[in-house]
Structure 1
């Protein structure tokens, strides 16, 4: 099985460098892009609240 992270082919579109090597409905050269990391506080359960330092604490009673 081929590692999908290393083969620029989604099943619908392949990178132009693969033309003639695989059968794809469309080919694209693609374009450079950046991925920005999103940051969000995650609570262990819906009743928890963020305590300001990125950690969660149980709700105060």
Structure 2
């Protein structure tokens, strides 16, 4: 497993629940399967994507 598995799980969980999973939830799910560096990079990728999405979403509401 790698960072993209982490990213995809975060994305799918967010889409299903509407809430961003915590760092602890991600660590609990992936700590035995993914290097700590890969885990952090997957989380960083997700947070970057969600920040861009929220910015785009807010921008479209302002028009």
TM bucket normalised to smaller: under 0.3
* Structure with more of its chain in helix, by fraction: 2
Highest CA radius of gyration, 1 or 2? Answer: 1
Higher relative contact order (CA 8 A, sep 6+): 2
* Structure with more of its chain in strand, by fraction: 1
